[in-house]
Amino acid sequence: MHFNDSTSIINLIVLGVHVFVQLAAAILIYIKHHEPQNRSWKYIFVFFVVSAIASTVEIALVTNQEFAPQSYKLLDPLINIPGFYIFAILLCYVIELIRPHWLNLKRLILIFLPSLIAAAGVLFFVAKGDITVLSSMRDLKEHIDAPNIIARMVFLGMYIPYAVYLIAIRIRITANQASKYFDILVAITVCLCLSYVLSRGLQLYLGYITHEILYLLLSVVIIYFEHYERLHVPLEKVRDYYIWDQIPNTTQNTVDAAAQALQRLMDEPAIWQDSELTGDKIVHLVGTNRTYIQQAAKQLGFANLSDMLNRRRIDYVCQQLRKDPNTSIQTLFIDAGYRSRTTAWRHFTTIVGCTPSEFVERHADDERTLKES
């Protein structure tokens, strides 16, 4: 591919926009979030910065006549290996949002060890100089049995199980604070993964354009969530995730026992006010399994565990609004354990049947009626 053709010019424009958006996103993320206890912002900040650097390097390669003929080849290890680990940083951000503080060193090693082994295999051939340059799908078919081609295809295929793994994690979580945002984020990330395989791996131009559009869309979604949806929780209100592992629990082998334990648990404000509370934590504290915990919630009169948790939180918000109608609703949402403004607002209107401002007005009308009577 030569720099002077129209395709290269379009690519350069797209890459330039890519660099600008990623740097702007990194700056906005740093301005909005740099709390030491919030690890998710660190992952996404690094993702935006490294992505911008990678695109800048790619621009330099494409514009350099010496390197341009070797650019944009099929299964190019010099593009696919860095690209994969940029995607891995994004994966860490999504997992950290879905399961806060779940990613420790051991889990990171277990997650990425297979890809590290595959990358080492590809780099072995790179070091030997045994890399077959593939300029077309015909070249790929002719050399598909070459060991270096097989290693490169295996590495590119690593995107698929990681995408499936991300979907599996999302399916397992049933008590999230912003499930709609997570669903959108997971969907875009999975599509981004597949488009990368088509664009950077097989060099399909439609896949390349789709990939860049998804990249821009992902940036907009993340910035919107981090700036307008995600409620900023002060440091003093953040609880240590691992403190739950220090709480002794007993095994509940029946639904009745699980229901009693769940009721006691939910009577503790410190539990349901935890902004990082998940279904897994509740299952751990009650000492039962997912099936029993859902049946226990139904036995206590709720639709499911999520319904029980949200009603506790919204009841708290209503109580505080009755005491002081002038209290900031955002502050109350944070105190109740919510991290997403939209999610909290949706649960309030669903459970109470009106908006917080309408609730305050109704309460004021009831107070006036009571005084007049």
Per-10-residue mean pLDDT, the chain, length 373:
56 82 86 66 88 83 55 68 83 78 82 83 84 79 87 83 80 55 82 78 68 84 76 43 39 75 84 77 81 88 90 91 86 82 87 89 75 63
Length of the chain: 373
Cβ contact 143:149 at 8 Å: yes
CA pair distance 270, 290, nearest whole angstrom: 22
- Taken in order of first residue, the domains within the chain and their CATH numbers are 6-229 (1.20.1070), 239-372 (1.10.10.60)
Q: How far apart are CA 18 and CA 20, in angstroms?
A: 6
Amino acid letter, 157: G
Q: Tell me the backbone φ, ψ of residue 231, rounded to 5 degrees.
A: -80, 130
Q: What amino acid is encoded at 147 in this protein?
A: P
Token digits for 366?
């009831």
Which three-class secondary structure string do you get for the chain?
CCCCCHHHHHHHHHHHHHHHHHHHHHHHHHHHCCCCCCCHHHHHHHHHHHHHHHHHHHHHHHHCCCCHHHCCCCCCHHHHHHHHHHHHHHHHHHHHHHCCCCCCHHHHHHHHHHHHHHHHHHHHHHHHCCCCCCCCHHHHHHCCCCHHHHHHHHHHHCHHHHHHHHHHHHHHCCCCCCHHHHHHHHHHHHHHHHHHHHHHHCCCHHHHHHHHHHHHHHHHHHHHHHHHHECCCCHHHCCCHHHHHHCCCCCCCCHHHHHHHHHHHHCCHHHHCCCCCCHHHHHHHHCCCHHHHHHHHHHCCCCCHHHHHHHHHHHHHHHHHHHCCCCCHHHHHHHHCCCEHHHHHHHHHHHHCCCHHHHHHHHHHHHHHHHHC
Using alpha carbons only, what angle is made at residue 293 by residues 185 and 282, rounded to the nearest 5 degrees? 60
Give me the residue label for tokens 């206890």: 37
Tokens of 282: 């509740």
pLDDT score at 249: 46
Helix 77-98 vs helix 105-128: crossing angle, to nearest 10:
170
The predicted structure's pLDDT at residue 1: 40
What is the CB-side half-sphere exposure of residue 238 using CA atoms within 13 A?
A: 16
Minimal CA–CA distance to 156: which of 100, 130, 194, 113? 194
Q: What are the beta bridge partners of residue 230?
A: 340
Burial 22-35 (b: 16+ CB within 10 A, else e): bbebbebbeeebee
Interhelix angle 40-63/77-98, rounded to 10 degrees, is 160
- pTM assigned to the model: 0.62
Work out the number of other CB atoms within 10 angstroms of the CB of residue 144: 12
pLDDT of 70: 44
Which residue, among 38, 14, 69, has the nearest Cα to 239 in the 3D structure? 38
CA distance linking residue 47 with residue 215, whole number of Å = 12
Beta bridge partners, 340, equal: 230
